[in-house]
Structure 1
Amino acid sequence: MKVAKFGGSSVSNAEQIKKVLDIVNADKDRKIIIVSAPGKRHKEDVKTTDLLLRLYEKVLAGIDYTAKKQEIIQRYADIINDLEMSDDLLEQIDDTLESFIKQLKDKPERLQDALLSCGENFNAQLIATYNNSRGIPTRYISPGDAGITVTDLPQNAQVLDQSYEALYKLRDYDEKLIIPGYFGMSRQNYVVTFPRGGSDITGAIVSRGVRADLYENFTDVSGIFRANPTIVPNPLSIDEITYREMRELSYAGFGVFHDEALQPLYKDRIPVVIKNTNRPNDTGTFIRHDREINSNNVVSGISCDKGFTVLSIKKYLMNRQVGFTRKVLGILEDYNISFDHMPSGIDNISIIMRSKEIENVEQKVLNDIRQRCDVDELSVEHDLAILMIVGEGMHRIIGTANMITHALAESKINLRMMNQGASEISMMFGIDVDDADKAVKATYEYCYNGEALQI
């Protein structure tokens, strides 16, 4: 059994939906389909989810939202008209939006989740109805009916383990099943969304629940590239990559696959393939538990993300003061701040986090660290970019870090810090944000256009 998920660009209009259903109907093993909300039809277009967000903002501000609601309904009307379907669904769309607004206008977070879920939900109903009209037995199933039960945290749902047992029952259906991505139902019976891009997460949860043999993630590219193609012209594609490598690259800016979607798949070792809706016969990129390593694929990919802040703390004899680091991290916990890296020396530590984590409480955090930790020096730096070099085989090579720092030095890129994870599959380099693109180009040239790495 295969579970296939189709992203927003794959279901953005009638023509794309026909492609999707041709792919689905051509393979009897593609039993369960997860769909996103309609994405952009062209570069200047607006995603349906963003239209729904604007609708929510108007409702919250007490502004007339009729025109925005009509714009959303028109997105589906265009698809329905082009598919020559009955427009009965349009009235249902209008009623559903109005019902959520009426019921939840005094509960802003609940209203936001309910409205944002509509993009996927309406699209799943539309696609299931159309496929039935083509003579293919197809059933729309809501996440609640499918058994996707999640924590009650608006915009940040986490699946509950009880979901997996319920989802296994989906194997009993004979029809093709269309399930909207991006949200589940809490025990309190509220619609709760995953973080943006959460349709990937839904697909992974369902794949684990039904114990799929393969999770196919269809998007608008034929797999994953070894570097961002907007920075490196015509980068090499990745044939296969491990879960761990994909997690590292997703964290640092690879947007093809949501990093949270890997967790359910990793536990049951369900392979994933990233494929192109517009070129479905292309092999794509496989994400697996293990992969073969040779001299040409030691480094799987290079990624760079911006928007980081670093706290630098110095205290003489820090290494002898029991509990010092715990105190610092306790302060971050008090302010609900998560961090990403913590390079350290015997008398200093640097804590790297997303800038958004600390931007509203920075001064309070610094004051608390000074008062409670008795530090010698404390500084904060913004506009840091994180360059990640990722590869399962790097720990087998002597001098990899030296070679990469040499490549950065040759391009006159100032290295502010570096850290190698305990997993030994990634190296992190902190650089100025203005050097981010240049660093990707320099390290890509070394890793893939230089001499093959020897293992």
Structure 2
Amino acid sequence: MKVVKFGGSSLANATQFKKVANIILSDKDRKVVVVSAPGKRHEQDVKMTDLLINLTSCVLKEDGVEEALSVVLDRYEEIITGLDFSQEGLIEDIKDSLLTLINAYKDDEERLMDALKASGEDNNAKLMAAYLNGRGEKAHYVSPKEAGLFVTAQPGNARILQESYEKIAELKNRDGVLVVPGFFGYSHQGDIVTFPRGGSDITGAILAAGIGAEEYENFTDVDSIYSVNPNLVSNPREITELTYREMRELAYAGFSVFHDEALEPVFKKKVPVVVKNTNRPEAPGTRIVAERQPAEQPVVGIASDKGFCSINLTKYLMNREIGFGRHLLEILEDEHISYEHTPSGIDTMSIIIREHQLVNGKEERVIERIRKELEVDDVNIERNLALVMVVGEGMAQAVGVASKATAAFAETGVNIKMINQGSSEVSMMFGVEGKHVDLAVQSLYSIYFN
């Protein structure tokens, strides 16, 4: 039994819907199907989720609701018309479900946003199940509540409850193709709660882990995962196989094909993941597995992400002060700030965080508390940092990986602000100025892969 997930670009219009149905029907093991909301039909288009966010805004300000609702319904009607199958009353059902959600949550902004955003996936799942039935396949729409996806209650930040997996396992006993909407679950209070970014990927991974799938296929709009962002390098090398740990590092550092949070359920159950292209399903894609044979090339991929800053502290004899690091992290915890990395020396420490967290007076409060409570000699914030990650399981046994990187940076004039490597040696991280990040990635790709 396989779980197969299709992203928004795979379901953007009727033509894509038909491709998806053909893929599902071509393999009898594809029993659980997870769908996203319709994505962009072309570069300038607006995806369904954004249309639903606009509808939410209109409801909250009580202006333009009818027009915004009409735009949403028109997208679904266009898909239904292009599918050439008789499904009387489906648009009216979608309209009624949206109005029901609006009436239920119109006085609760966060719940309304979650409910209407999730409706994109929910209605698309109903449509896909109806279309598969229209083509003679026994298919069932299964709501997340029916499937057993019970989650924590915080809007926009759902986390699966472990008790859900026992209920999800029962899906193995059902017949036909089961179509489940991605992106959301239900709290014990009965509210719709969405997962964070990459929510449909998370749903697919949870279901694959829950039923013990032989494989989790994740269909998108690229043939495979590439060793570097294809927008930065011409004809980048395709990755045929990588480990969960390698994918986690690459996803964290900017690879958008597969979000890092979606790996946790399948990682724990060791379910292989295959990233494939809806438009070229015959392409082998990229396999993500627990372990792989070491390759000649120790580096599997290079990724980068912007929007970081560094809080830099200096204090003489810092290394002898018991509890210094704990106290520093407590200050961040009090402000609900998560940190990414903590490179340090004997008298220095840096805390790398995402810049967007220093808002609403948090920066001033954090700096003031560090000065007073830790009695540091100096504290400053360095902004506009980018992190570049070199990833590969083979780096632990290879000699000269770091020297190649520093040589590449020196040759292209990229100044290294920071170097950090975890104990696992799966990745090596470089901090550079944001304006030089693309050049840094290109220089690394050239020295490792050319």
Pairwise TM-score range, normalised by the shorter structure = over 0.9
The one-character-per-residue Cα deviations of 1:395-418 (angstroms, maximum 9, x if unpaired) are 112221122011111000011111
**Partners in 2 of 1:225 and 1:399 — Cα distance?**
23
- Correspondence list, 1:4-15, <5 A: 4-15=4-15
- Structure 1 portions without partners, runs of 5+: 450-455
Give the C-alpha shift of residue 64 in structure 1.
2.5
Whether the 8 Å CA contact 2:198–2:262 is kept in 1: the answer is no
Secondary structure of the corresponding residue to residue 221 of structure 1: coil
Whether the 8 Å CA contact 1:389–1:428 is kept in 2: the answer is yes
Give the structure 2 partner of residue 230 of structure 1. 231
| TM-score (norm: length of structure 1) | 0.97
Give the structure 1 partner of residue 79 of structure 2. 79
Give the C-alpha shift of residue 63 in structure 1.
2.0
> In the alignment, residue 252 of structure 1 is paired with which amino acid?
A
Give the structure 2 partner of residue 278 of structure 1. 279
The one-character-per-residue Cα deviations of 1:126-163 (angstroms, maximum 9, x if unpaired) are 01001101110000000000000101111000001111
> In the alignment, residue 143 of structure 2 is paired with which amino acid?
S
> In the alignment, residue 194 of structure 1 is paired with which amino acid?
F
Give the C-alpha shift of residue 57 in structure 1.
1.5
Give the structure 2 partner of residue 95 of structure 1. 96
1:48 lines up with 2:48 in the alignment = yes
Give the structure 1 partner of residue 124 of structure 2. 123
Give the structure 1 partner of residue 385 of structure 2. 384
- Correspondence list, 1:358-397, <5 A: 358-360=358-360, 361-397=362-398
> In the alignment, residue 201 of structure 1 is paired with which amino acid?
I
CA RMSD of aligned residues (A): 0.9
**Partners in 2 of 1:341 and 1:399 — Cα distance?**
24
Give the structure 2 partner of residue 20 of structure 1. 20
1:261 lines up with 2:262 in the alignment = yes
Secondary structure of the corresponding residue to residue 215 of structure 1: strand
- Structure 2 portions without partners, runs of 5+: none
> In the alignment, residue 123 of structure 1 is paired with which amino acid?
N
**Partners in 1 of 2:222 and 2:327 — Cα distance?**
46
1:174 lines up with 2:175 in the alignment = yes
> In the alignment, residue 255 of structure 1 is paired with which amino acid?
S
**Partners in 1 of 2:359 and 2:231 — Cα distance?**
29
- Correspondence list, 1:156-305, <5 A: 156-296=157-297, 298-305=298-305
> In the alignment, residue 219 of structure 1 is paired with which amino acid?
T
Secondary structure of the corresponding residue to residue 408 of structure 2: helix
Give the C-alpha shift of residue 182 in structure 1.
0.2
Give the structure 2 partner of residue 334 of structure 1. 334
Whether the 8 Å CA contact 1:77–1:87 is kept in 2: the answer is no
Percent sequence identity is 51
The one-character-per-residue Cα deviations of 1:215-257 (angstroms, maximum 9, x if unpaired) are 0000000110000000111100001010001000000100000
**Partners in 1 of 2:56 and 2:222 — Cα distance?**
31
Secondary structure of the corresponding residue to residue 145 of structure 2: helix
Give the structure 1 partner of residue 59 of structure 2. 59
Give the C-alpha shift of residue 87 in structure 1.
4.5
**Partners in 2 of 1:403 and 1:174 — Cα distance?**
55
Give the C-alpha shift of residue 60 in structure 1.
1.8
**Partners in 1 of 2:212 and 2:275 — Cα distance?**
18
> In the alignment, residue 10 of structure 1 is paired with which amino acid?
S
Runs of 4+ displaced beyond 6 Å: none
Whether the 8 Å CA contact 1:73–1:90 is kept in 2: the answer is yes
**Partners in 2 of 1:120 and 1:433 — Cα distance?**
35
Secondary structure of the corresponding residue to residue 393 of structure 1: helix
**Partners in 2 of 1:440 and 1:337 — Cα distance?**
28
Secondary structure of the corresponding residue to residue 149 of structure 1: coil
The one-character-per-residue Cα deviations of 1:46-92 (angstroms, maximum 9, x if unpaired) are 11001111111122223222111110110000001111233411111
**Partners in 1 of 2:88 and 2:148 — Cα distance?**
29
Whether the 8 Å CA contact 2:87–2:130 is kept in 1: the answer is no
Change (3 A) 1:281 1:23: same
Secondary structure of the corresponding residue to residue 387 of structure 1: strand
Give the C-alpha shift of residue 196 in structure 1.
2.6
Give the structure 2 partner of residue 453 of structure 1. none
**Partners in 1 of 2:15 and 2:416 — Cα distance?**
48
> In the alignment, residue 369 of structure 1 is paired with which amino acid?
I
Give the structure 2 partner of residue 349 of structure 1. 349
**Partners in 1 of 2:123 and 2:315 — Cα distance?**
57
Give the structure 1 partner of residue 314 of structure 2. 314
Secondary structure of the corresponding residue to residue 132 of structure 1: helix
> In the alignment, residue 9 of structure 2 is paired with which amino acid?
S
